Amino acid sequence: MTLSLVSAVVDHLPSKGQALSRSTRAEVTEMAAKFEMYKDKAGKYRFRLKATNGEIIAVGEAYESETACENGIESVKKNAPTAEIVNQIGAGV
């Protein structure tokens, strides 16, 4: 899911020094996943990442403040593209 989204965006990138066309910007915006921030029943701040089809694909922990929640989102955006995949299925974890 994520790789195909990245590939689709990269395919639409202009050459160095050129701007994205209006239609390409609209297309990329339309297909982009989104982070949603909300307060849970306990009053804690949380976020979820939704795919373009509206499916929740990731959920953050509970944060004490809106700023901390925003920082959590930024951390995911920064670290996820290069994160290692560790398969712990069957590892008894």
Using a cut of 0.75, tell me whether the model's pTM lies above it: no
Judge contact between 61 and 72, C-beta under 8 A: yes
Side-chain half-sphere CA neighbours of 21 within 13 A: 4
Helix (H, G, I), strand (E, B) or coil at 84: coil
Backbone angles phi, psi at 54, to 5 degrees: 90, -5
Neighbouring C-beta atoms of residue 61, cutoff 10 Å: 11
Helical segments of the chain, H only: 2-11, 22-31, 66-79
Tens of pLDDT along the chain (93 residues) come to 344 444 444 444 455 556 656 655 555 445 689 999 999 999 999 999 999 999 999 999 999 999 999 999 999 999 999 999 999 998 875
Helix (H, G, I), strand (E, B) or coil at 64: coil
